[in-house]
């Protein structure tokens, strides 16, 4: 009954702070830990879970917790928090939810030297051992609770997230929230903004800061939406541009790019800075998924406004300390012209006599409803089409009253109704 008040406590930004101190805060077990040392015994370990029926598992390996990096076993706060939201927002009984952490070590030197660190103290397992552990885990889950058991991958590092999803999405009932859930809520925000502005998706050009799981996941879903509207695949991809840690993603860099970036390596001249890319590409929307705080500075926002009358500014990195631009700065530097959304909550902003309510592009609008639908339907696979449909449903739920406040998401108080929808 108090969704808006409890959301920042249960999840971002509080969950990030909790994970950073999880070893110090640890009092009793929440969820199940399976370590790299448990290979060969995972099915037996699952038999120790005290509830007979599990419908959904949220699992992390702790390598990329929010924008905080490798927290190893301290990342258990993420599965715990996500499953709290499944219960609060989608009504899934808590005794059917299992938070789980695959402890494969950590490359965080500070944690390896920390006396209160509650994970195994070794660097991350090599790929062959890692893959064998995940293989055994997925097979054990299906054997123990059935092939319809939903597994949500959460906060895996880039090097594994895409591989794991690609490997298992056609074999097991699973999805990656950082790739697919984030994409769905971001694309819903874009759909909603198009409604609010009376604009067309096909007329937009998107420039991303960050080309990891979230960024390319959003791009892929935008491309799927554009293709459905009759835009060719090549032209749809040409509307999405990326700046990663080295600069603009272009064809001249193709030998050094990770596989998930290749589709967006366009034939253009390289530039090293995000500001230069704005002047070069003249985007209508910028999307921050970089975990680089204040990366969208005044020069960036003012440059963006030179090329579009009503820019979209999505600063989606979590927690708040990693956000690319605050709501106040975005509205002020754009002179109240922008359509803004963030990953973590911000208070209302008054500029030039008008009060804006920033939209929060929170995955909680998406994953509880998707999970509920999968469970109710008894589905054995989770498809990208489900996330595109979820984005459409969420966008349609935004009222004119929200648009009048400049907000492109429904109030968090309505999130249960959104989940059912």
Dump the DSSP string for 163-211.
Answer: HHHHHHTTTSSEEEIIIIIHHHHHHHHHHHHHHHHT--GGG--EEEE--
Q: Are strands 206-209 and 312-315 parallel, antiparallel or unpaired?
A: unpaired
| Angle subtended at Cα 283 by Cα 281 and Cα 286, rounded to the nearest 5 degrees | 120
End-to-end CA distance of the chain: 18
Residue 144 falls in the annotated catalytic set: no
Token pair of 121 as six digits: 């103290």
Q: What is the largest CA-CA distance in the chain?
A: 65
- The one catalytic residue among 11, 130, 168, 242: 11
Other beta carbons less than 10 A from residue 23's beta carbon: 18
For residue 319, cis peptide bond before it (omega within 30 degrees of 0)? yes
Q: Is the separation of the CB atoms in 35 and 72 below 8 Å?
A: no
CA distance 61 to 119: 11
Known active-site residue 82:
yes
DSSP state for residue 124 in the 8-state scheme = P
Q: Which residues of 387-410 are buried (b: 16+ CB within 10 A; e: fewer)?
A: bbebbbbbbebbeeebbebbbbbb
User: Residue holding tokens 């050009």?
Assistant: 205
Query: Pick from 369, 365, 402: which is nearest to 192 by CA?
Result: 402
Residues in the chain, overall count: 421
Rounded Cα–Cα distance for residues 85 and 73 (Å): 21
Catalytic residue among 55, 82, 261, 322: 82
By annotation, the residues acting in catalysis are: 11, 82
């Amino acid at each position: 009954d108090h969704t808006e008040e409890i959301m920042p406590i249960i999840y971002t930004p509080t969950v990030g702070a909790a994970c950073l101190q999880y070893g110090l805060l640890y009092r009793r077990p929440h969820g199940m830990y399976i370590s790299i040392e448990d290979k060969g015994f995972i099915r037996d370990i699952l038999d120790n879970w005290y509830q007979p029926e599990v419908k959904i598992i949220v699992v992390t390996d702790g390598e990329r917790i929010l924008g905080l990096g490798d927290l190893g076993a301290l990342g258990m706060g993420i599965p715990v928090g996500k499953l709290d939201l499944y219960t609060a927002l989608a009504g899934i009984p808590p005794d059917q939810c299992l938070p789980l952490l695959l402890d494969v070590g950590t490359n965080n030197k500070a944690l390896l030297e920390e006396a209160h660190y509650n994970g195994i103290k070794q660097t991350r397992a090599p790929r062959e051992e890692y893959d064998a552990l995940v293989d055994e885990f997925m097979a054990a889950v299906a054997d123990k609770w059935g092939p319809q058991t939903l597994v949500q991958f959460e906060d895996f590092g880039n090097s594994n997230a895409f591989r794991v999803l690609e490997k298992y999405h056609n074999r097991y009932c699973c999805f990656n929230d950082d790739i697919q859930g984030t994409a769905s809520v971001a694309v819903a925000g874009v759909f909603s903004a198009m409604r609010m502005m009376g604009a067309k998706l096909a007329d937009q050009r998107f420039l991303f800061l960050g080309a990891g799981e979230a960024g390319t996941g959003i791009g892929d879903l935008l491309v799927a939406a554009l293709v459905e509207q009759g835009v060719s695949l090549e032209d749809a991809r040409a509307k999405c541009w990326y700046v990663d840690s080295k600069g603009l993603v272009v064809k001249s860099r193709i030998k050094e790019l990770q596989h998930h970036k290749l589709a967006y390596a366009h034939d253009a001249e390289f530039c090293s800075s995000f500001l230069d890319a704005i002047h070069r590409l003249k985007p209508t929307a910028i999307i921050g998924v970089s975990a680089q705080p204040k990366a969208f500075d005044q020069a960036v926002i003012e440059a963006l406004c030179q090329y579009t009358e009503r820019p979209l500014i999505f600063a989606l990195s979590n927690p708040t300390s990693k956000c690319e631009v605050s709501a106040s700065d975005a509205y002020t530097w754009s002179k109240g012209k922008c359509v803004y959304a963030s990953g973590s909550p911000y208070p209302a902003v008054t500029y030039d006599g008008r009060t804006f309510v920033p939209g929060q592009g929170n995955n909680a609008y998406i994953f509880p409803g998707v999970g509920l639908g999968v469970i109710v339907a008894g589905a054995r696979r989770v498809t990208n089409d489900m996330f595109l449909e979820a984005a459409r449903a969420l966008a349609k739920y935004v009222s004119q009253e929200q648009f009048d406040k400049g907000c492109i998401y429904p109030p968090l108080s309505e999130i249960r109704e959104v989940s059912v929808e």
